[in-house]
Chain A
Amino acid sequence: MAVGEAVTKKRKSKVAPWTQALERVPWWALILILIGVYISYSILNSETYHDTFLFLSEGVKTTILLTVVSFAIALVVGLITGFGRISDNIIVYNIATFYVEVVRGIPLLIQLLYVAFVVVPLAVQGLNAAGSFLVNLGPAGFLAFVGEPLANVNIQNVNMLYRAIFGLALGYGAYEAEVFRAGIESIERGQMEAARSLGMSYWQAMRYVILPQAIRRVLPPLGNDFVAMLKDSSLVSALAVRELTQLAKLNRARTFRSFETYNTAVFLYLAMTLVLSIGVKVLERRMSGGK
């Protein structure tokens, strides 16, 4: 088969050598750039596009804020849960695994709705109850001072943006946990043995020897997840958070200009994700070339 392939290739290039050059052109990128130029041009010159762009760019800010904050929290949640997944402590291991398996088995949209309309209200009720309890313990003094604001937290005042951040962070935390776990487990056993043999504690060895190596290895997958979260943040429109997708929906309802509205939304999402994926690729290359 290999021989046959070589023969066809040779024949092809003999017939038309310029077709090879044409095959190598990244047409997809060229078309993408052309579309980008077209939409940029329209934004500058067409009033409808210009208006749409201004309306949506507020949403871009929210989308970026949402993604950056949620991802930062997801990283912390993921690292802690990742340690739980490799813990020798049966209770810790089971709690971490329960969280990871439940979250990974539920659609993100349902998670967001569940967190926003079930978990957060329940948590607020819990806070209220705890607050009332503290107030009833003593009429004045420190307990009442702490208890009163807790008792008066109103669910109406918990901004949907915060609930969305909480939901996204919890949802992605489970995936980041698996990334961190895999990264830590990929470090050779001898590294932990060498560190412990020098008298370091488990956590000292983690901090100075295992994690610096593991994090270097998981940077590319973490970068991919960041891009994925940027896209998944559009689901938050279901909570009426005024991010890019939600504003696109509002703009269409306001102007009935579906074509311009969604073209601009796609353009803005692609602009963000393409830049980020190039960043991730550069990172990947540097990591693989580093050692």
Chain B
Amino acid sequence: MNGESVVQITNVHKTFDNVVRALRGVSAHVLRGEVLVVIGPSGSGKSTLLRCVNGLEKVDSGQVVIDGTDITAPKVNINKVRAEIGIVFQQFNLFPHLTALENVTLAQKVVRKRSKEEAEEVTRELLEKVGIPEKADNYPSQLSGGQQQRVAIARAMAMNPKVMLFDEPTSALDPEMIAEVLDVMLDLAKEGMTMMVVSHEMGFARAAADRIIFMDEGRIVEEGTSSKFFENPDHQRTKKFLSKILH
């Protein structure tokens, strides 16, 4: 960690359909090599915040800067910035008409202009890393939820992103498959990947998070290191949330 922000979010506001105020002035940052975990009750705006980071949602006001590029500026090449940001979705969103291998190689060839051989080599390495090298030629419909999510992680990693975003990556999984996905994420964290994770997995937050942000009603309520956050939170709202979620 050298104190340099890969993601810098400044005073972001976002309203849906002029009624739902999803984000009300949120500022946050992720340093290089840092793991930031965002938690909070549903509807608190944490997923919206994450989607604003790669421009899937346009902010109403405020600024989002990715590694020096302001993606909220009017004439930014958003495709170029997105190639540097990996994102893993709750619903995996694998391409069902392509095999696992093709899912991971597609953007490498189309966006990164890698040759077929180079892209496949990268893919095989990554599938090995996420623990399913034997599933390369299977279609998503032939894979379990946990396997699909690991292919999705490999697909994002194949672009050599500067930061990885995770949008509740284990929420759609059967309980016994959660661990295999979290293990892959823990490995990434240990290797020094810069990560911003929206999750309800407190175990992962404890083990991997450098910092934790707690959000409620579109605002950041509390921010702190993982140990401080769990053992000695400042705010009443945070204590209430933790007591419900940690039993």
| B93–A191 CB distance below 8 A | yes
B107: contacting residue among A188, A199, A212, A213, CB under 8 A: A199
In the complex, which residues 195-243 of chain B have their Cβ closer than 8 Å to any Cβ of chain A?
Answer: none
B97: contacting residue among A195, A197, A213, CB under 8 A: A213
| A194–B89 CB distance below 8 A | yes
Instruction: State the Cβ distance, B75 to closest chain A Cβ, in Å.
Output: 16
Chain B CB within 8 A of A208 CB? yes
| A208–B110 CB distance below 8 A | yes
Chain A binding surface SS class? helix
Chain A CB within 8 A of B143 CB? no
**Contact (A291, B89) CB under 8 Å given A198-B155, A199-B82:** no
Chain A CB within 8 A of B22 CB? no
**Contact-residue bracket for chain A:** 10 to 19
Total A-B Cβ pairs within 8 A? 59
Flag A156-198 by CB within 8 Å of B: 1 or 0 each: 0000000000000000000000000000000010110111111
With the chains together, A142 CA to B41 CA distance in Å?
A: 72
User: Of all chain A residues, which has the CB nearest B83?
Assistant: A199
A198: contacting residue among B91, B96, B107, B141, CB under 8 A: B107
In the complex, chain B residues whose CB is within 8 Å of the CB of A212: 97
| A191–B95 CB distance below 8 A | yes
The count of residues in chain B whose C-beta lies closer than 8 Å to any C-beta of chain A is: 25
In the complex, chain B residues whose CB is within 8 Å of the CB of A216: 97
In the complex, which residues 46-70 of chain B have their Cβ closer than 8 Å to any Cβ of chain A?
Answer: 54, 56
**Contact (A291, B93) CB under 8 Å given A198-B159, A199-B79, A199-B80:** no
Chain B CB within 8 A of A218 CB? no
Chain A CB within 8 A of B36 CB? no
Chain A CB within 8 A of B156 CB? yes
Instruction: State the Cβ distance, B101 to closest chain A Cβ, in Å.
Output: 15
**Contact (A197, B87) CB under 8 Å given A204-B110, A291-B141:** yes
**Contact (A196, B56) CB under 8 Å given A201-B79, A216-B97:** yes
In the complex, which residues 128-161 of chain B have their Cβ closer than 8 Å to any Cβ of chain A?
Answer: 141, 155-156, 159
Flag B109-125 by CB within 8 Å of A: 1 or 0 each: 01100000000000000
| A194–B97 CB distance below 8 A | no
User: Of all chain B residues, which has the CB nearest A189?
Assistant: B93
**Contact (A209, B95) CB under 8 Å given A198-B155, A200-B111:** yes
With the chains together, A197 CA to B159 CA distance in Å?
A: 11
| A200–B93 CB distance below 8 A | no
Instruction: State the Cβ distance, B168 to closest chain A Cβ, in Å.
Output: 13
* A→B interface (CB under 8 Å): 188, 190-191, 193-201, 204, 208-209, 212-213, 216, 291
* B→A interface (CB under 8 Å): 54, 56, 79-80, 82-87, 89, 91, 93-97, 106-107, 110-111, 141, 155-156, 159
Task: Please list 9 pairs of residues, one from A and one from B, whose beta carbons are closer than 8 Å in the complex, sorted by A's number.
Answer: A194-B94, A194-B95, A196-B56, A196-B79, A197-B54, A198-B107, A199-B111, A208-B110, A213-B97
